[in-house]
Amino acid sequence: MGTAASPFLNPIADEVEGVGPTKPTSEALLRRARQRRQIQGMIGVSYVIDAGVLLIYAHAGTIPATIGPAFAICGLVSVAGYILLSETGFTERFRDHYFITPQVIASMAIMLAFTYVAPEVGVMFLCTLFVVFNFSSLRSTPLQTAVVWTAMAFGLA
C-alpha cells in the first residue's frame, strides 16, 4: 500500500513538518520518484483511453477525427514535461514535491480548452475534469484545493 493516500489531514504534513531529518534520505527520494513515475504513467494511460473514446465519437461523426489525437498529444506532452521535472530533481525543491497544483492547473487547462474546441463531447471533458480535481485533492492541502476549485470555476464560467 505504498501509494495509498496519506492518513494525515494535511497530506504534506507527514513528510516535512519538523519530523525526522531536514533533508530526505536517498531511500525517500527514490520512493518519491517511483511514486511520481507511477502516477504519471497512470495519467498518461488515462489520456490515451480518453483519446480512444474520442476516436469512437469521431468514427460516429460527432467530432472531427483530429480531436482525439490532439487531446492525446497535449496530455502526453504534459505528462512528459512533469516526468522531466521530476527526474531532474526540480520538484524536490518544493514543499509539495508531487507538484500537484501546477499539474492539476495544466490538466484543467487541457480539459477546458478541449471542452471549448469540441463542445459536442464537452460532458466527457467536464466529467474528466472533476475526476482530475477529486484525485488531486487527495494529495493537496485545503488551501491548494480551494485555489484549484476557484480556478476551475472561473474557467467554466
* Higher per-residue pLDDT: 99 or 11: 99
Q: What angle do CA 139, 143, 149 make, to 5 degrees?
A: 80
* Side-chain half-sphere CA neighbours of 71 within 13 A: 33
Q: pLDDT digits over 7-41, tens only?
A: 555 555 445 444 445 677 778 778 877 888 888 89
Asked if 50 and 71 touch (Cβ cutoff 8 Å), the reply is yes
Asked if 34 and 97 touch (Cβ cutoff 8 Å), the reply is no
pLDDT score for 30: 81
Residue 93 has pLDDT above 80, yes or no: no
pLDDT score for 17: 44
Q: How sure is the predictor about 59, in pLDDT bands with cuts at 50, 70 and 90?
A: very high
- Cell (9 digits) for 6: 496519506
Weakest mean pLDDT among 1-5, 82-86, 119-123: 1-5
Q: How far is CA 150 from the centre of its chain?
A: 17
To which residue does cell 513538518 refer?
Answer: 17
Longest dimension (CA), the chain: 58
Mean pLDDT of the chain: 82
**Average pLDDT, integer, range 64-71:** 96
Q: pLDDT digits over 33-57, tens only?
A: 788 888 889 999 999 999 999 999 9
Supply the DSSP string of 91-131, one letter for each residue.
Answer: GGGSSSTT-HHHHHHHHHHHHHHHHHH-GGGHHHHHHHHHH
Which pTM was predicted?
Answer: 0.77
Asked if 144 and 101 touch (Cβ cutoff 8 Å), the reply is yes
* Higher per-residue pLDDT: 2 or 63: 63
